[in-house]
Amino acid sequence: MRYISILGSTGSIGTQTLDVVRRDSEFKVLALAAYSNIELLKKQAEEFKPRLVCVYDRKKAEELSEIFKAEGTDCTVVSGPEGLSEAATVEGADLTVVAVVGMIGIAPTIAAINAGKDIALANKETLVCAGHIIMPLIKEKGVRLLPVDSEHSAIFQCLAGEEHESVSKLILTASGGPFRGYTKEMLKNVKLEDALKHPNWSMGKKITIDSASMVNKGLEVMEAHWLFDVNYEDIEVLVQPESIIHSMVLFKDGALKAQLGVPDMRIPIEYALYAPRRVFISEDSMPDLSAIKCINLMKPDTEVFEGLKLGIEAGMTGGSMPTVYNAANEEAVALFLSGKIGFTDITEAIKGAMKAHSLKFEPCLEEILEAETEARNYVKGRFNI
Ligand code: NDP
Ligand code: MG
């Protein structure tokens, strides 16, 4: 039996993780966590019978606790940040899937590693802000860190059986999002509903906006830097609009390895759960090679999509700068999603927050959270909110 805990079980990655788990009686879910969607969490609890659920929102947690009591469901309900860490460290679990969105993922990931759990990491914000804390801790505790993000899963698969010294370059692919080919002027007038239409992937709202602005790729470059211990100079981004090549590794002898497949997140999720074993998912996950007419590769336009350029700059600067980049983005994306600011305001807000920041080297968790607050306040102040 494999015992797991899933943080963010009601989201896009969380529900797809449960799709994988549902098919295999080898898995037993011990804990689930969400922010406030108790309707879905209740259904998941009925099906998977976890010992504990966390509802971050305290009011909603009380509501669910009352329902469980009335129905005689034997499941503890916890809430808030301490509840999320409780779910991450639930006794008996071997693996914690971190699929919450945003920097809220940092503390429970650290708690899970300290408790000796292997981590399947979808949440990229955690490594971006706290990679310098997480990576040494993973080593110290001797646990496994398994990437779920499709590009990082692709690189992880390409690196299987290879030596670190043999790697020349990591090549992260990007779809380019719905606005690929747009000019700066055109980007100024895009609407929320257009930004939410990703051409190839179906994902949560925040990452869909990040993909449209290419901030997602900025975050992923930093994620790759930490996961694979590769310098920023040796990480390249190429646009691959069909999303067939999920990423590549160039080796010192000139050999290039790529991982290809249909854009279906269940494949990287499954690899994170079973690696190095592979399991059949469904006919839908099988690529139809005869239908692929061509695979295009091109350099990204970082003058138009400044989100990527700023991400690489934040990563190279290091210290607290990636946190500022990420937190300013989280705040600005929330404002864009609620219709309060325009699309190009997102990267302008990030740029402003990074400029205003006084850098801290090797920030501890407290200093990361301070940099987060500072960046969020900067963005709110900029738009008088
Ligand atoms: P969604 O918005 O679909 O889901 C987010 C999940 O996190 C929900 O279950 C939500 O609960 C929960 N959540 C949010 N805040 C909290 C909190 N404070 N405490 C507990 N739970 C919380 O996001 P995605 O699944 O798309 O993305 C999750 C992470 O994975 C992100 O970091 C993203 O960048 C990354 N990722 C996603 C990919 C994808 O294909 N979707 C691909 C690669 C990476 P509720 O439903 O109650 O709000
Ligand atoms: Mg990705």
Sequence ranges of the domains in the chain: 2-147, 153-317
Confidence of residue 93 (pLDDT cuts 50, 70, 90): very high
Q: Which tops the pLDDT comparison, 116 or 284?
A: 116
pLDDT tens-digit map of 125-162: 999 999 999 999 999 999 999 999 999 999 999 999 99
Rounded to the nearest whole angstrom, what is the distance from the C-alpha of residue 41 to the centroid of ligand 1?
14
Rounded to the nearest whole angstrom, what is the distance from the C-alpha of residue 99 to the centroid of ligand 1?
5
**CB-based contacts of 242: which residues, under 8 Å, 6+ apart?**
175, 200, 292, 295, 296
Query: What does the pLDDT average to over 353-381?
Result: 98
Q: Between the CA of residue 62 and those of 69, 208, 292, what are the distances in Å?
A: 11, 31, 51
pLDDT tens-digit map of 185-213: 999 999 999 999 988 888 999 999 999 99
CATH number for the domain running over 2-147 = 3.40.50.720
Q: Which of 331, 296, 316, 269 is nearest to 125 (CA)?
A: 331
Q: Is the pLDDT of residue 364 over 90?
A: yes
Q: Is the pLDDT of residue 293 over 90?
A: no
Proximal ligand: closest to the CA of 151: 2
Q: Between the CA of residue 187 and those of 155, 201, 238, 241, 304, what are the distances in Å?
A: 31, 21, 20, 18, 8
Residue to substitute in 98, 101, 172, 333 for testing ligand 1 pocket (most ligand atoms within 8 angstroms of CB) = 101
Q: Which of 14, 4, 200, 155 is nearest to 87 (CA)?
A: 4
Whether residue 53 has its Cβ less than 6 Å from ligand 1: no
Q: How confident is the model at residue 119, as a pLDDT?
A: 98
Rounded to the nearest whole angstrom, what is the distance from the C-alpha of residue 257 to the centroid of ligand 1?
30
Q: Is the pLDDT of residue 175 over 90?
A: yes
Residue 23 per-residue DSSP state = T
Proximal ligand: closest to the CA of 172: 2
Residue to substitute in 15, 19, 35, 85 for testing ligand 1 pocket (most ligand atoms within 8 angstroms of CB) = 35
The residue nearest atom 2 of ligand 1, judged by CA position, is: 204
Q: Which of 160, 133, 155 is nearest to 322 (CA)?
A: 133
Q: How confident is the model at residue 201, as a pLDDT?
A: 87
CA 73/CA 71 separation, integer angstroms: 6
Q: How confident is the model at residue 222, as a pLDDT?
A: 98
pLDDT tens-digit map of 251-292: 999 999 999 999 999 999 999 999 999 999 899 999 998 888
The residue nearest atom 5 of ligand 1, judged by CA position, is: 11
Rounded to the nearest whole angstrom, what is the distance from the C-alpha of residue 149 to the centroid of ligand 2?
5
- On average, the pLDDT of the chain sits at 97
Confidence of residue 336 (pLDDT cuts 50, 70, 90): very high
pLDDT tens-digit map of 31-45: 999 999 999 999 999
Residue 145 per-residue DSSP state = E
Whether residue 201 has its Cβ less than 6 Å from ligand 1: yes
Q: How confident is the model at residue 190, as a pLDDT?
A: 96
90 touches 9 (CB < 8 A)? no
For β-strands 167-174 and 235-239, DSSP reports them as: parallel
183 touches 226 (CB < 8 A)? no
Q: Which two tokens stand for residue 127?
A: 């490594």
Confidence of residue 246 (pLDDT cuts 50, 70, 90): very high
Q: What angle is formed at CA 368 by the lines to CA 365 and CA 372, rounded to 5 degrees?
A: 140
Rounded to two decimals, the pTM is 0.97
Whether residue 123 has its Cβ less than 6 Å from ligand 1: yes
Q: Is the pLDDT of residue 74 over 90?
A: yes
Q: How confident is the model at residue 355, as a pLDDT?
A: 98
**CB-based contacts of 129: which residues, under 8 Å, 6+ apart?**
103, 106, 322, 323, 326, 327, 368, 372
Q: Is the pLDDT of residue 379 over 90?
A: yes
Query: What does the pLDDT average to over 316-334?
Result: 98
86 touches 63 (CB < 8 A)? no
Query: What does the pLDDT average to over 50-68?
Result: 98
Indicate the SS3 state at residue 213: helix
- The helix (run of H) or strand (run of E) holding residue 305 is none
